[in-house]
């Protein structure tokens, strides 16, 4: 396992221990040596994700890291569902308590809604603060988005293929 994979596994193992004790609305999955963990949000094609990336999307370089709490939509009708949520953006952001990043690309099925913050994943002494931030944001996302996700309706194309 590479050094960065070991770091990821250690980070997520510590995150799982923190979230097992403090998370109110989601349960962490088994840690893996990757830059994300996903959590069920009550509907197929939708998931909450915690991301600890060695790439910083704001500065667009590998010299900095970032954390993201995000909703990922991978449903076959992801763009339609995304647009329905986007139509409720003001209310969603008011309930979350901050502005969110809304990400949709024409030639990519997955859409995302997320919060991000810069981080230095090499500084293990900062991990408790990172774990707290991720847990709080994911709990808030679940509280605000889960009822909306369950209520989304785009008609007969709402079914994920078997």
**DSSP category for residue 34:** S
Of 34-38, 60-64, 123-127, the range with the lowest mean pLDDT is: 60-64
* C-alpha to C-alpha distance for 70 and 63, rounded to whole angstroms: 22
Q: Is the pLDDT of residue 29 over 90?
A: no
Reported as a single tens digit per residue, the pLDDT across 40-90 is 999 999 999 999 987 666 656 666 788 999 999 999 999 999 999 999 999
Of 9-13, 17-21, 51-55, 143-147, the range with the lowest mean pLDDT is: 51-55
Structural domains in the chain, CATH included, are 3-152 (3.30.1460)
- State the sign of the Cα–Cα–Cα–Cα dihedral 125, 48, 68, 144: negative
Please tell me the predicted confidence (pLDDT) of residue 102.
Answer: 97
Q: Give pTM, 2 decimals.
A: 0.89
- State the sign of the Cα–Cα–Cα–Cα dihedral 47, 53, 58, 62: negative
Q: Is the pLDDT of residue 158 over 90?
A: no
Q: Is the pLDDT of residue 141 over 80?
A: yes
Quick check: 96 and 141 in contact, CB under 8 A? yes
Strands (E), 10-153: 36-40, 46-53, 65-73, 101-103, 111-119
What number of other Cβ atoms are within 10 A of residue 21's Cβ?
Answer: 8
């Amino acid at each position: 396992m590479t050094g960065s994979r070991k770091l990821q596994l250690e980070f997520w193992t510590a995150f799982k221990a923190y979230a097992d004790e403090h998370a109110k609305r989601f349960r962490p999955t088994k840690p893996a040596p990757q830059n994300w963990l996903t959590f069920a949000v009550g509907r197929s094609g939708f998931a909450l994700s915690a991301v600890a990336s060695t790439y910083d999307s704001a500065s667009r370089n590998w010299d900095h890291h970032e954390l993201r709490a995000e909703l990922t939509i991978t449903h076959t009708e992801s763009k339609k569902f995304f647009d329905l949520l986007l139509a409720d953006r003001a209310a969603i952001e008011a309930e979350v308590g901050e502005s969110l990043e809304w990400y949709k690309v024409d030639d990519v099925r997955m859409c995302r809604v997320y919060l991000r913050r810069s981080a230095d994943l090499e500084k293990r002494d900062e991990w408790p603060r990172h774990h707290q931030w991720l847990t709080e944001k994911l709990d808030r996302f679940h509280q605000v988005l889960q009822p909306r996700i369950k209520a989304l309706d785009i008609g007969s194309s709402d079914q994920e293929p078997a």
